[in-house]
Structure 1
Amino acid sequence: MDNSERLNLLLVKLENLLLRQQSFEAEIEALKQEVKALQTHGTTPAPLVKPFESVIAPPPRNTPPSVANQNALEPRVIPGPFPPTSNQPQSNFTHWFKRENMVKSDFEKFIGENLISKIGILILILGVGIGAKYAIDHDMVSPLTRIVLGYVVGAGLMAFAIKLKAKYENFSAVLVSGAIAIMYFITYAAYDFYALIPQALAFALMVVFTSFTIIAAIKYNKQVIAHIGLVGAYAVPFLLSDGSGKVGVLFTYMAIINIGILILSFKKYWKPLFYASFTLTWIIFLAWRLDLNPNNNFFGLSLLFSCIFFITFYITNLAYKVTKREVFGFSDAVILLLNSFIFYGIGYFILSENKNSTELLGLFTLVNAVIHFIISLIIYKRKLADKNLFYLILVMVITFITLAVPVQLDGGWVTIFWAAEAAILFYLGRIKTIAIYEELSFPLIFLAFFSLLQDWTTYYDVYSGATTVTPIFNIGFLTAAIFIACFAWIFSIGKKEMEKPAEWIWMRQILSYSIPTILLLVIYFSFRIEIAKHFNNLFELTKVNTNPGQKKDYNSYQYNYNYENLKTAWIYIYSLFFASALTLVNIKRLKNEELAIANLVINILIVVLFLTHGLYNLSELRDSYLFNENKYFIISAFNIGIRYLALTFFALLIIQCYQLQRSGLLKRDFKTMFDYLLYISILWAISSELINILELLHSEGSYKLGLSILWGVYSLFLIGMGLAKNKKHLRIGAMVLFGLTLIKLFFYDIYSLSTISKTIVFVSLGVLLLIISFLYNKYKHLIIDDAKIED
């Protein structure tokens, strides 16, 4: 058999299979109709319709290949009782119609069999409660009769539920849940309101009901029983509360419920049940504790029940995972962390509120670490769970050991330990591929940064010299230095190990930008604050008492405010140097394109700030030197010299901007933008210097005339540069500047200038305009050629 005959035979078999599939679908549809008819009483089932059968005959063996291919593509169909073409649309419509009916039927079934029963039992319980309360308020029956009737209702509902279990299991489960809730309700009322039963018997009954609830939930395999029977019981103390403040009874009651859920967790791991119990318990406890009168702090009671709740939820969260060796997921980690930190926060608050126990805060933190260490050791030795659980609990150990030291010491140590811990966890997570460690390092990275910001506000009050701190040699700078070292390590690890897989890719992307950003900000501000602190100290040392022997107040002291302007000038010099050095390092060593964009933004920002505010501050230093009227202080000529030091670093930054533009690290061409930056900066700087020289020469009134002539000459210079380098934007910029100069001349300068000054200005600008016009006429071919090239 050659290939063509084999191909024909395969095509025929394929068509036969497709037709058989349609036959099966039709037969299944007929069977469904028959079943539906049998389920409906009083109707006769529709006869089973035999589906059509179609067979494709294979081509004759002696058929030529071309004919065989055509026959294969257009098969010969032997029809059955019903032609397939007429039956297909009806089959599709029937299938869609029945699917829609099934969806509606399922929805109706959910409401009728599930939702309505749950709503009904809740309404029933509320109705019983409202009726009982009405009977109580109006003394309709005696207390003993009330309790007996309550138990009769609960027992009757329970018996009815058990009777219905065989045929209506779901409905029976809902009734059982309601009966258990009623039993809780009645027992609590019998003990708390009427004292008909002693405390021991009340709690014994609650233990019995809890045990029965556990057995029923497992027997029915219905989480709804546990929800209504256990978690629903949380509402009982509040419904029956008389304001007596018996919190010990309330928390014991809650502890019994939570222990029941703990026992249930060894058999079933019903997360919604655990989440509800966890949330309600801690909300109730926190609301009570935070609203408590400080004079009545229930110190022992608070610690006791917070420990009971913490241990119960801790074991409950681990029980099913350990017994079933299930993988420890993200939600489990969140619950474990929440439980641990809520307990720690409550314990810290309780101890700190009591003046006799504040020194135990560090010990309490260390005890938390020991608890987690013991749990992690047991899990590791007996191999009770997956490694993620062990790593997570070990992280808790590290966290609480880290917190134990700063709780007893100053706040700066918190930043040091958090930064170091973040670096270690990031290293273990990225290098040792322990994903949970890397994930837990993410919040610590930002916590350490915010802690450092808080430390800066504590140690460095930049705008006030109220405290004296030695620059560089202080705990604040040491904290920042360790922080920088840790984050530099994190940055180097992240840069080398980016190819390794990650679970939280989005967080890695955030950190790839946030880590270098935080690192740069901390490096910059660490030294900036030290500079500010140095001048704040000098400012404080200049304090002079002008009224000795008299009552001292704020007006009795004089300060040398020149140091405030010097501080600002040195901060600008440092900022110019920092931006220049960062740009140079990136161009020569790092060659990072993302950092190059940051360099560009930082450089432009500092240039704009220096031109607008920095030069103004330098002019104030000049005025302080020229017009010093304070007899207590001498202002030196350094106020003038620092101006040229600042301009030198400003020129250095402009050069680095030019080098950055030429380095190729920027993907887009910024030549035009750099030209504007360069020539505007030059104009601004020389205008400021002209004013400075005129002020030093005591020619204050000449700056208007001088600026107009300077701007006109600079416009001529820009025209020349634009013609020489074929840069149209320079020529346009020159024209705009000359236009502004003329507007300034006619609307601002002319009213304050003398006749001679007006003559000088008009003649000068007129000559400049003629020169510009001459240059345009002489080199117009260059401009035309340039325009053609651009077109």
Structure 2
Amino acid sequence: MEYILIVVLIVLIIWVYQKLNRKIQILEQKISDLSKSNVNIGKPEQPFIEGINSEISPNDKIDVEKAVISTAEESPEEKKDWLNPLFDFIKQNVLTIIGIFTLVLGIGYFVKYAIDKNWIGENARMSIGFLAGFSIIIIAHFIRKSYSTFSSIIMGGGIAVLYFTTTIAFREYHLFTQNTAFVITCAITLFSIFLSYRYNSETLIIFSLFGGFLAPLMISTGQSNYIFLFTYLSLLNIGMLITVYLKNWKSVGWIAFIFTAIYLYFWTIQKTDLASIIFYIITYIIFYAFALQNYFKTNLLSKLDILMLVLINFSSIIGLVYIFSILRYEPLSIFPLSFALINMFFAFREYQNKKFERNYSVFAGIGISLLTLAVALQFKTHLITSVWAIEASLLLYIWKKTNHSIFKVFFYLLFPLVILSQMMTWTEYINSEKHLFIILNPVFLTSLVVIASCFFNLILLKKESKEKSETEFFENVFKVLCFGVIYLSILFELIYQLSSLHYVIILTYSFLYSIVFTSFLLLLKKKLSISEDLENLLIYGLLLLFAAHISTSQIVNAVISKEIRLSFYWVHLIYLIPLIYLIIKLIPQSEFLKQKIGYLLISLVCTLSVSFELYRIYIFSNDTTYKNIIQLQEHFSILYIPIIWAILSFISIFVGLTKNIPQLNKIGFGLLGITILKLYLYDVWQMDNVSRIIAFIILGIILLLSSFMFQKFKNMLKNLVEKNENSIDENI
């Protein structure tokens, strides 16, 4: 009964297919007739064109022709997304792809079911697999003229069945040896390539290439014979290269590059062998020639050709230098220097032809990047971090020269990897078994490469106009990451080199460096194209650094315990220089003071600075020991702090009135209120009589002066308003 239902279902499917196929053919005929009838629509008549041409001067005609040609050249390259053809192909053929995949699975399940029921033996199973594969290929052959893409996918499915049949016959049933299985897979690959040429099908050769690169995995026994494997892959890549030059099928080269890189890197990591260098060089030559295919024909480099040049140069460098470093061969710079010479040769060729456009920029950029990498590696920098940092800058440089957004996308994808790799590099400060030299150590030299890359990238990304771009958010994030990497690279080196000193010295120098670094960023905000939001963020960070440095310093305890010298206190006070410059110069030029919290934060930092530094000077000026330091601290807090705060509040009110800044008036009166509350609620009950009298007298005088000054300015403002009103009345 089940077999009858299957037969009926197959007959119904064939009948429905025939009906649909007939309707599709009728629609195609109607579309063809409509196309022929409307072929001349939209075409201007020749007399009209001649009339226009007669009214245009010869120079204008040349300009118009250039404009038309430039538009025709730019529009396909710039406006059309390079991924659109791939997405269109998938959308149009997704059912076909799913269908052939399902069919292959169906055949597999049928064979498995037959095996479970013991209907067929091992040889019969293999025969069914080969028969099914060839049957699918034959069916695809007969429908190729009407449905070329559909037939190519169907034929690819048939080839996949042949590959899987060979794999199962070898691995599961052991019907033939590994050498025989390899010969069969090679024969299937050659057969599929022949069919690709025969039917001029790029889709089919992609299936063939997948099969060719997966064949070694299908017949692998776990015993790695890398020499044999890469000899086979090199021959396969040479065939790919010939195919690309004859048919211009670029997708074939990219698939081959991805598979080859995976195999090479796996070999390099599993078994670092000197013989692999030969295959790295062969692979480099093959794919460098692949990237130059259009260049040799049209003397132009497309965006994907440029990307391949970048990838093959730097991916080869990573593998080759890694092998040399593991096997302890020298010099590491020999490979980047050699590859740099190859690229500089093509740059010199462009220079001789006086073509200083895209091609020259690409070859020269790659050559200079490789020379830079050679110098970096000679100083024993970390391989991956240095390669990725220089490669990221190169991608950004090529984007600037070619204006192809694909390079900017790859840059934004690669730069986070540079950050992660740099973070791994910093761990060497902790894991290093021997002490690292100052600056001239692999970790910091690697950091210098990344810092140079960051500066170069910031220069390239500097905006040429003040208009906000669509990618402003990403550019701001990128700038923050760059500043963060530069800051942390120097900070970690500083902390590592000072690690043997007292923690107070380490903390002080770290805070001072952080303050100076942030101040320089604000000082160079125009040259670095720092946006207003980022500038405000830096000011917030700088004020936080000031507050932390002032309030958390343990320099008093360290000096009293004679762990550090008193002279180091002058180093601690260096922060006053950027603080004064920030208040007088930087902040007034920014939009920071327009925020409600701006004046409050600045006043808080100034109050902390004056209070803590006068406290430290007071402690150092007395004969201080651990026995009397608590008594001195209480005396300063009770007697001097109210006076200091009262004076600061007086200054704040005075500046607020003279400069007409209401926020400072509020801050001054607020600080004065806190001082009075502190005095009456706590200090007065802790003082002796003499101190109490002195504090009340000084505070009273300050309060009277503040009140008098406020009243005076109030009267001045009142008189000024009345005078203006009288002058208006007289004019009326």
TM-score by length of 2: 0.62
Once the two structures are superposed, residues 545-572 of structure 1 have per-residue CA deviations (whole angstroms, 9 ceiling, x without a partner) of xxxxxxxxxxxxxxxx4xx535655666
Q: Out of 647, 650, 656, which is 2:576 matched to? A: 650
Q: Out of 527, 540, 545, which is 1:609 matched to? A: 545
1:369 paired with 2:295, answer no
- Residue 258 of structure 1 deviates from its aligned partner by 4.7
Aligned amino acid, residue 258 of structure 2: T
**Residue matched to 1:91:** none
Aligned amino acid, residue 668 of structure 2: A
**Residue matched to 1:265:** 244
User: Structure 1 residues 530 and 193, CA, compared in 2 at 3 Å: closer, same or farther?
Assistant: closer
**Contact between 1:494 and 1:512, CA under 8 Å: does it hold in 2?**
no
User: Structure 1 residues 150 and 451, CA, compared in 2 at 3 Å: closer, same or farther?
Assistant: closer
1:162 paired with 2:95, answer no
Aligned amino acid, residue 549 of structure 2: H
**Residue matched to 1:358:** 328
**Residue matched to 2:155:** 176
Distance 2:702 2:91 in 1: 95
Q: Out of 79, 92, 105, which is 1:126 matched to? A: 105
**Residue matched to 1:715:** 649
**Contact between 1:122 and 1:178, CA under 8 Å: does it hold in 2?**
yes
1:730 paired with 2:700, answer no
Distance 1:381 1:778 in 2: 77
1:328 paired with 2:301, answer yes
Distance 1:475 1:349 in 2: 15
Distance 2:91 2:533 in 1: 63
**Contact between 1:603 and 1:653, CA under 8 Å: does it hold in 2?**
no
- Residue 741 of structure 1 deviates from its aligned partner by 1.6
Distance 2:519 2:576 in 1: 9
- Residue 193 of structure 1 deviates from its aligned partner by 6.8
Aligned amino acid, residue 712 of structure 1: A
Distance 1:477 1:241 in 2: 44
Q: Flag the structure with larger Rg.
A: 1
Instruction: List aligned pairs for 1:596-635, cutoff 5 A.
Output: 605-606=541-542, 608-614=544-550, 617=553, 620-626=554-560, 628=562
Of 732-741 and 238-247, more deviation after overlay is shown by 238-247
User: Structure 1 residues 783 and 277, CA, compared in 2 at 3 Å: closer, same or farther?
Assistant: same
**Contact between 1:576 and 1:649, CA under 8 Å: does it hold in 2?**
yes
Distance 1:612 1:680 in 2: 12
**Contact between 1:326 and 1:386, CA under 8 Å: does it hold in 2?**
no
- Residue 477 of structure 1 deviates from its aligned partner by 8.9
Measured on the aligned residues, the alpha-carbon RMSD in Å equals: 6.3
Instruction: List aligned pairs for 1:710-789, cutoff 5 A.
Output: 710-723=644-657, 726-754=660-688, 757=691, 761=695, 765=699, 769=703, 772-773=706-707, 776=710, 780-782=714-716, 784=718
- Residue 654 of structure 1 deviates from its aligned partner by 1.6
- Residue 731 of structure 1 deviates from its aligned partner by 3.0
Distance 2:114 2:139 in 1: 25
**Contact between 2:559 and 2:565, CA under 8 Å: does it hold in 1?**
yes
Distance 1:465 1:285 in 2: 32
TM-score by length of 1: 0.58
Once the two structures are superposed, residues 441-479 of structure 1 have per-residue CA deviations (whole angstroms, 9 ceiling, x without a partner) of 979999999999888876x88x99984856x89999999
Distance 1:155 1:570 in 2: 76
- Residue 330 of structure 1 deviates from its aligned partner by 2.5
Distance 2:137 2:417 in 1: 54
Once the two structures are superposed, residues 473-509 of structure 1 have per-residue CA deviations (whole angstroms, 9 ceiling, x without a partner) of 99999999999999989989998x969xxxx996999
**Residue matched to 2:310:** 337
Once the two structures are superposed, residues 321-367 of structure 1 have per-residue CA deviations (whole angstroms, 9 ceiling, x without a partner) of 256538433233333433444444344555555xxx33167377258
1:702 paired with 2:635, answer yes
Identity of aligned residues (%): 24
Instruction: List aligned pairs for 1:571-582, cutoff 5 A.
Output: none
**Contact between 1:365 and 1:401, CA under 8 Å: does it hold in 2?**
no
- Residue 227 of structure 1 deviates from its aligned partner by 3.4
Aligned amino acid, residue 612 of structure 2: S
**Residue matched to 2:195:** 216
Instruction: Give secondary structure in 2 for the equivalent of 1:266.
Output: helix
Q: Out of 687, 691, 713, which is 2:611 matched to? A: 687
Structure 1 unaligned blocks of 5 or more:
1-35, 41-109, 540-560
Distance 1:347 1:691 in 2: 62
Instruction: Give secondary structure in 2 for the equivalent of 1:410.
Output: coil
Aligned amino acid, residue 565 of structure 1: V
Number of matched residues? 627
- Residue 317 of structure 1 deviates from its aligned partner by 4.5
Distance 2:246 2:260 in 1: 22
- Residue 737 of structure 1 deviates from its aligned partner by 1.2
Distance 2:162 2:24 in 1: 46
User: Structure 1 residues 571 and 131, CA, compared in 2 at 3 Å: closer, same or farther?
Assistant: closer
Distance 1:530 1:670 in 2: 38
**Contact between 2:351 and 2:360, CA under 8 Å: does it hold in 1?**
no
Distance 1:111 1:580 in 2: 54
Once the two structures are superposed, residues 399-452 of structure 1 have per-residue CA deviations (whole angstroms, 9 ceiling, x without a partner) of 45544555454228999999999999999998xx6879x979979999999999
**Contact between 1:723 and 1:782, CA under 8 Å: does it hold in 2?**
no
Of 745-754 and 601-610, more deviation after overlay is shown by 601-610
**Contact between 1:234 and 1:254, CA under 8 Å: does it hold in 2?**
yes
**Contact between 1:415 and 1:479, CA under 8 Å: does it hold in 2?**
yes
User: Structure 1 residues 242 and 479, CA, compared in 2 at 3 Å: closer, same or farther?
Assistant: closer
Instruction: Give secondary structure in 1 for the equivalent of 2:332.
Output: helix
- Residue 736 of structure 1 deviates from its aligned partner by 0.8
**Contact between 1:259 and 1:312, CA under 8 Å: does it hold in 2?**
yes
**Contact between 2:333 and 2:375, CA under 8 Å: does it hold in 1?**
no
**Residue matched to 1:638:** 567
Aligned amino acid, residue 369 of structure 1: F
Once the two structures are superposed, residues 255-297 of structure 1 have per-residue CA deviations (whole angstroms, 9 ceiling, x without a partner) of 665555444323333444444444345446656765x4xxxx3
Instruction: Give secondary structure in 2 for the equivalent of 1:362.
Output: coil
1:227 paired with 2:206, answer yes
**Contact between 2:373 and 2:386, CA under 8 Å: does it hold in 1?**
no
- Residue 150 of structure 1 deviates from its aligned partner by 4.3
Once the two structures are superposed, residues 95-124 of structure 1 have per-residue CA deviations (whole angstroms, 9 ceiling, x without a partner) of xxxxxxxxxxxxxxx999955554443333
Distance 1:241 1:486 in 2: 43
**Contact between 2:551 and 2:608, CA under 8 Å: does it hold in 1?**
no
Distance 1:414 1:237 in 2: 29
**Contact between 1:465 and 1:536, CA under 8 Å: does it hold in 2?**
no
Distance 1:246 1:759 in 2: 96
**Contact between 1:715 and 1:738, CA under 8 Å: does it hold in 2?**
yes
**Contact between 1:600 and 1:657, CA under 8 Å: does it hold in 2?**
no
User: Structure 1 residues 148 and 657, CA, compared in 2 at 3 Å: closer, same or farther?
Assistant: same
Aligned amino acid, residue 735 of structure 1: F
User: Structure 1 residues 134 and 786, CA, compared in 2 at 3 Å: closer, same or farther?
Assistant: farther
User: Structure 1 residues 340 and 790, CA, compared in 2 at 3 Å: closer, same or farther?
Assistant: farther
User: Structure 1 residues 309 and 164, CA, compared in 2 at 3 Å: closer, same or farther?
Assistant: same
Instruction: List aligned pairs for 1:369-448, cutoff 5 A.
Output: 369=339, 372=342, 376=346, 388=358, 392=362, 395-404=365-374, 406-407=376-377, 409-411=379-381
- Residue 738 of structure 1 deviates from its aligned partner by 1.9
Distance 1:366 1:591 in 2: 33
**Contact between 2:396 and 2:457, CA under 8 Å: does it hold in 1?**
yes
**Residue matched to 1:565:** 504
Distance 1:534 1:238 in 2: 51
Aligned amino acid, residue 657 of structure 1: I
Distance 2:206 2:386 in 1: 46
Aligned amino acid, residue 691 of structure 1: Y
Distance 1:597 1:170 in 2: 53
